[in-house]
Amino acid sequence: MANFRVQAFARELAAEAIRELIPDDTQLADAELLWPENKAQVMQELQRLADTLLAESLRLESI
């Protein structure tokens, strides 16, 4: 039971970190993720990952 709560907490923190730390062009370039044609796609994927982590966190908290 405590393990689920720890996992939920970690996922929630990760989701918050993704949302709060919106990468700038330099960070995206350093991660080799910046191409003008896919910047919006990269940002959408980061948002999707944050949403997935948060949903998993809520699921684990309900166990």
pLDDT digits 0-9 by tens, 25-45 = 788 788 777 777 777 888 888
Range of the domain at 55: 2-61
Is 51 within 8 Å of 12 (Cβ atoms)?
Answer: no
Cα distance between residue 46 and residue 25, in whole Å: 14
Exposed (0-12), middle (13-18) or buried (19+): which is 57, by Cβ within 10 Å?
buried
CB 6 within 8 A of CB 52: no
pLDDT, position 59: 84
- Checking if the pLDDT of 15 tops 80, the result is yes
> pLDDT confidence of 1, banded at 50, 70, 90?
low
Residue 7 clears pLDDT 80, i.e. is over it: yes
Give the whole-angstrom CA distance, residue 7 versus residue 2. 9
pLDDT for 53 equals 87
pTM for the whole structure: 0.66
